[in-house]
């Protein structure tokens, strides 16, 4: 939304469940550095708000986990916090809010798929948290984040989803006595937006194949499918 202004943000505020007293803070949270780089007098990008939002996110998440899991040791709490605050989880929250179409992106970043890029979405989500914190204080930011957490699987389930390759390796070693192997079958698309096809096999037998925008994500998707097949 290159021409997005504060007057256009009411729909997004409804999605966020928060009405800004200073909507220019939300506009800043939606402004990718590429947008500012291409325009004079475009104002600030969202990097400072992202920095602030990350700190608020860590505090709220830590407090929530501490209260919700009184029997968990520090190590497990740290793992849970990492799972809830990593790029993939934050991007998932941003997708649930349909944040991508609201981002102010430079032309090159928009053409390269910035509105769906996990890193850009995660940064914007953290920036929105920072904007809500500045506008409404910690209680407002906490209310927003806890609503987001409620829509996610529990941390233990997320941890399992986060590392399907590790779970597949354990299952393969136990069932077949060897680790699975991953093979790139095809790479298509332009350099800035490649599409990888990866298959995972055990002892030469293909278990599953998947496509994604990076080799890592394609391997992860293939591992998930292989786990479903082996557990069926």
Report, as residue numbers or ranges, the catalytic residues. 54, 126
Sign of CA dihedral 8, 193, 226, 157: negative
Question: 153: which DSSP letter?
Answer: P
DSSP state of 213: S
Q: Of 108, 141, 125, nearest to 50 (Cα)? A: 125
Cα dist. 4→28, 88, 130 in Å? 11, 26, 20
CB atoms near residue 168 (< 10 Å): 26
* CB atoms inside a 10 Å sphere around CB 177: 9
Query: Is the alpha carbon torsion for 54, 117, 94, 226 positive or negative?
Result: negative
Cα–Cα distances (Å) from 1 to 17, 62, 84, in that order, read 21, 34, 29
Cβ neighbourhood burial of 3 (10 Å; 0-12, 13-18, 19+): exposed
């Amino acid at each position: 939304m290159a021409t997005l202004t504060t007057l256009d943000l009411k729909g997004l505020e409804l999605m966020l469940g928060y009405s800004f007293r200073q909507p220019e803070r939300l506009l800043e949270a939606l402004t990718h550095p590429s947008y500012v780089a291409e325009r004079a007098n475009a104002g600030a990008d969202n990097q400072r708000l992202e920095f602030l939002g990350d700190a608020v996110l860590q505090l709220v998440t830590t407090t929530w986990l501490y209260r919700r899991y009184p029997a968990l040791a520090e190590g497990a709490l740290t793992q849970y916090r990492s799972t809830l605050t990593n790029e993939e989880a934050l991007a998932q929250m941003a997708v649930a809010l349909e944040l991508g179409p609201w981002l102010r992106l430079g032309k090159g970043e928009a053409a390269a798929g910035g509105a769906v890029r996990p890193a850009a979405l995660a940064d914007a989500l953290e920036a929105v948290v920072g904007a809500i914190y500045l506008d409404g204080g910690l209680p407002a930011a906490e209310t927003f984040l806890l609503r987001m957490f409620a829509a996610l699987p529990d941390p233990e389930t997320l941890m399992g989803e986060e590392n399907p390759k590790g779970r597949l390796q354990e299952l393969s070693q136990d069932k077949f006595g060897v680790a699975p192997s991953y093979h790139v079958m095809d790479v298509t698309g332009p350099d800035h937006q490649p599409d990888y096809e990866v298959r995972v096999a055990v002892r030469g037998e293909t278990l599953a194949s998947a496509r994604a925008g990076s080799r890592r994500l394609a391997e992860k998707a293939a591992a998930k499918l292989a786990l479903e097949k082996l557990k069926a």
